[in-house]
A and B are shown apart, each in its own frame.
Chain A
């Protein structure tokens, strides 16, 4: 399938009172048409900043994208004029956010807000736009959609609000939908509803998705491919099945082993990863995971491993193979 998006060497920094924070330190990934990419990592690993940088949504100052390219349909999103990127954002690439309460404007009706992209990008008038909005709200499962156009965000429950958010992001038929932890604030039964809806719409509308989460369970049932981030870098990327079956980076392995599983009858003590995630006050020159890694050796402290193919289509940034404990050649 054709490649839709190709990000190379993305680096983003934030100027803070404590000094320069190196949030993203050279991220490469690509997204094919219709593909779902999961980006997984803990808080502060740079997963949100990566996609925000790509869409030029990083507030500047304090943030700055200092290097990299993000090609969408042959054009570099990072080099576009503000006018050009505005045509892409919300129309061809759209985004849904974690907290459905704070990402709506509380004083505008849902109808107005969901219709806005149509009026801006497709030049529809209010009446046409509202018709399309009603259709879209019905598609995401809002009962009596037509009567609810005049309601305000606070009149919807958390799950319903996230549905409205999905409707808003899809009204212009984007080719890429980016979801930044869309179910983290929701209860597990509502999360299941939203994930089911996202899958259904993806298959119906044929868009590609980037799904950001810290939940390895959500990604397992949703994504085709996933990328694990740590310290502002992608440290492992592979098709989901290959990644869960043979995690090849000690961090990924540690994460998977630290999770209790609902379908495990036997009691296992959880394997914890000692120590804390790095504070990125300087750009990592050695492996960022080395201080917490049980396989660590001399080389890890001197050289940051690049992403190398450890199995077919399975890329890992580690000098050691955690399955055998031996150095990778």
Chain B
């Protein structure tokens, strides 16, 4: 871990995001809410990679988007260098956004098919009025080379590129404004195995070169372990465990983390033969009516009465090791 005492870049406090469910054609009534993110707190230090893992629908992407104020939170605060992003809007927010960018999951859907690569990567510069046409072109060509593409691709369209190359274009666009923080929302899960390593290595190189801070959202635990300094495990809108990557994988304390880790197959038949799996029963409950108390209790192999009655506090068990479980 490189960042135990480093300065805190981003502080998320009790972040909540509910999406209302509406019924009715003319008169719309709110009949419920999807509890996508329900009280999430963590810090990201400057220059580190925080991995956010969980199964689909656990709220990890919503967390990423709410941090960037792409969704406005229902409640809670996001401090970026001590500026509360949830309290600013308009031009003030736009200026802050220069420092925070995002790389999206689907490299096919996140690039406008009618724009050239040059326009796509240069658009942030145009929007923020940071460069004239000539400077923009120079910057874009530099960025293309930085992400391992040919500067001659400037006038090409996204459909001329493979998935891995498109994701490099997405990375170049995120870098255009020299951000400090990049939220990587499953940047490799749409790519083939041999291409995933290329993109991950690129992200690591860029981080070293520009001292970038990443929030790396993914469901692939092996990859998250590889790239992250610290890892947060989410389940149904709540962070269950947060600790350093080695600590999490060697000493997972939350029963959900334990089950999740044991479910990941390891590409080695000799190891696989000896492994014992904790297989969780059932499916993830609906975030519309999440279980009372601990969110995980309906699938937890060791749940007791108290788990249904009160929500476990997210507390520091060992230095830097946070767990939300009554039984730890």
Chain A positions near chain B (C-beta within 8 angstroms)? 42-43, 157-160, 187-193, 195-196, 214-221, 240-241, 244-245, 254-256, 258-263, 265, 267, 269-274, 276-277
Is B280 within 8 A of A217, CB to CB? no
Q: How far is the CA of A272 from the CA of B280 in the complex (A)?
A: 34
Instruction: Report yes or no: B194 in contact with A258, Cβ–Cβ below 8 A.
Output: yes
Name the segment of B95-103, B219-227, B302-310 touching the other chain: B219-227
Is B24 an interface position by the 8 A CB rule? no
* Docked-complex contact A217 and B264, CB < 8 angstroms: yes
Closest to B196 in A: A258
Q: A241 CA to B194 CA in the complex, in Å?
A: 21
CA A190 to CA B280, docked complex, whole Å: 8
Interface size on B, residues (CB 8 A): 45
When C-beta atoms are compared, the residue in chain A nearest to B57 turns out to be: A187
Q: Cβ of B222 and Cβ of A262 under 8 Å apart? A: yes
Chain B residues with Cβ under 8 A from A265's Cβ? 246, 249-250
B275 and A221 form a contact (CB under 8 A): yes
CB distance from A105 to the nearest CB of B (A): 23
Contacts of B271 in A (CB 8 A): 220, 263
From B162, B249, B267, B277, give the contact of A217 (CB < 8 A). B267
Provided the pairs A42-B192, A262-B261, A270-B201 are in contact, do residues A256 and B267 lie with their beta carbons within 8 angstroms?
Answer: yes
Q: A217–B193 contact, CB under 8 A?
A: no
Q: Name B54-88 residues within 8 Å CB distance of A.
A: 55-56
In the complex, the answer to whether B198 meets A274 with C-beta atoms within 8 Å is yes
- Say yes or no: A160 contacts B283, CB within 8 Å: yes
B200 close to A (CB within 8 Å): yes
Asked if A187 contacts B219 (CB within 8 A), the reply is yes
Q: Are B265 and A157 in contact (CB under 8 A)?
A: no
Contacts of B283 in A (CB 8 A): 157-160, 190
Partner of A255 from the list B194, B249, B268 (CB cut-off 8 Å) is: B194
Nearest-CB residue, chain B, relative to A245: B270
* Selected A-B contacts with CB under 8 Å, 13 pairs: A188-B221, A189-B55, A192-B277, A192-B280, A217-B267, A219-B267, A244-B268, A258-B193, A260-B223, A262-B261, A263-B268, A270-B201, A270-B226
B197 CB within 8 Å of chain A: yes
Who on chain B is nearest to A267 by CB?
B226
Q: Does B238 contact A (CB under 8 A)?
A: no
On chain A, the residues within 8 Å of B263 by CB distance are 188-189, 191-192
Q: Check: B279 CB closer than 8 A to any chain A CB.
A: yes
Contact A221 B273 (CB under 8 A): yes
B227 to chain A, nearest CB (A): 8
Contact of B250 with A276 in the complex, beta carbons under 8 Å = no
* Cross-chain contact A187 with B192 (CB below 8 angstroms): no
Q: How far is the CB of A42 from chain B (nearest CB, A)?
A: 4
Q: A220-B267, A262-B261 are in contact. Are A255 and B193 (CB under 8 A)?
A: yes
Question: Are B265 and A217 in contact, with the CB atoms below 8 A?
Answer: yes
Contact B279 A196 (CB under 8 A): yes
Whether the Cβ atoms of B225 and A260 lie closer than 8 Å is yes
The 6 closest A-B pairs by CB, nearest first: A217-B265, A260-B226, A221-B272, A192-B263, A272-B197, A258-B197
CB-defined contacts of A263 to chain B, threshold 8 Å: 249, 266, 268, 271
In the complex, which residues of chain B have a beta carbon less than 8 angstroms from the beta carbon of A270?
Answer: 197, 200-201, 226
Please determine whether A261 and B219 come into contact, CB atoms closer than 8 angstroms.
no
Residues of B within 8 A of A187 (CB): 55-56, 219, 284
Q: Is B193 in contact with A261, judged by CB distance below 8 angstroms?
A: no
Interchain CA distance A145-B262 in the complex, whole Å: 29
Instruction: Kindly provide the distance from the CB of B132 to the nearest chain A CB, expressed in whole angstroms.
Output: 35
- Please report the C-alpha to C-alpha distance between residue A158 and residue B56 in the assembled complex, in whole angstroms: 11
